[in-house]
Amino acid sequence: MAFCGGFMDKAKPYIAMISLQFGYAGMNVLTKVSLNGGMSHYVLVVYRHAFATLAIAPFALFIERKVRPKMTWSIFFQIFVLALCRPVIDQNFYYVGLKYTGPTFACAMSNILPAMTFVMAVIYRMEKIELKKVRCQAKIFGTVVTVAGAMLMTLYKGPLMHLPWTNGHAQPSGGEAPGAAGVDPTAREWFLGSLFIIIATLAWASLFILQTHTIKKYTAQLSLTTLICF
């Protein structure tokens, strides 16, 4: 029992991250349906973060009322930049890219996030490259593979695959299931969508880098999340 308890404590962060990926997948599908239904991505971003603020704020106010650090101009500016990176740049560019491509493609392209974060962490000396260690070799190999995969998905769309349960009905090229609009994105839209998703992912990676510094000074995590969403 003690072993199981210790294992579960160590596994919680990994379980949480895997669960988060399922949430992102569901969000991408619902977002694609909303965008194809005519909703503006600007409106969607505002609604999403308004609801997030209302949902998290009560917990932040109650749980962290005694541990919330004092707000300074330096911290305020960092929170402003964090909000600019994630809700503004990342979300808007990502939703435009999602509209031009599709949920499967957008999720696959988002896999370059760890690679971008690793490269930026090395640039800002938050990660050390030690080629003799297997851990570092795995990070470098993963970075190369994810970037190469993202470039391949951006520049190449292979032949259609007709699966048994599709009964031979044509689907949009690139393996994407047709959205609510049922329109196959053109080559230009596909390239622009890929570019927008890459820019969004870069902004997301920048959020992680800056957030590492901010959270050391502003240790109230729920309050920080609430302010970023707000």
Tokens of 226: 């609430």
DSSP track, the chain: -HHHHHHHHHHHHHHHHHHHHHHHHHHHHHHHHHHHTT--HHHHHHHHHHHHHHHHHHHHHHHTTTTPPPP-HHHHHHHHHHHIIIIIIIHHHHHHHHHHS-HHHHHHHGGGHHHHHHHHHHHTTSS---TTSHHHHHHHHHHHHHHHHHHHHHH--------GGGTT----TTSPPP-SS--PPPHHHHHHHHHHHHHHHHHHHHHHHHHHHHHHHS--HHHHHHHHH-
Into how many domains does the chain fold? 1
Is 208 a member of any domain? Answer: yes
CA distances to 55, 152, 201 from 179, in Å: 30, 23, 23
Do 96 and 193 contact (CB within 8 A), yes or no?
Answer: yes
Separation of first and last alpha carbons in the chain? 43
pLDDT of residue 145: 82
Is 201 a member of any domain? Answer: yes
Is 26 a member of any domain? Answer: no
Give residue 138's domain range.
42-59+72-156+186-230
Cα distance between residue 230 and residue 217, in whole Å: 19
Tokens of 71: 């707000």
pLDDT of residue 12: 85
DSSP track, 5-36: HHHHHHHHHHHHHHHHHHHHHHHHHHHHHHHH
Cβ-based neighbour number of residue 85 at 10 Å: 23
Is 163 a member of any domain? Answer: no
Cβ-based neighbour number of residue 224 at 10 Å: 23
Is 191 a member of any domain? Answer: yes
Cα distance between residue 196 and residue 89, in whole Å: 10
Is 211 a member of any domain? Answer: yes
pTM of the model: 0.69
Q: pLDDT tens track of the chain, all 230 residues?
A: 555 667 778 888 888 888 888 887 888 788 878 878 888 888 888 988 999 999 999 999 999 888 888 899 999 999 999 999 988 898 889 888 888 887 777 777 777 787 788 888 888 888 777 777 887 888 788 778 877 776 676 666 656 556 565 555 544 444 444 443 444 567 778 888 888 988 998 998 899 889 988 988 898 989 999 999 99
Is 139 a member of any domain? Answer: yes
Is 229 a member of any domain? Answer: yes
pLDDT of residue 180: 38
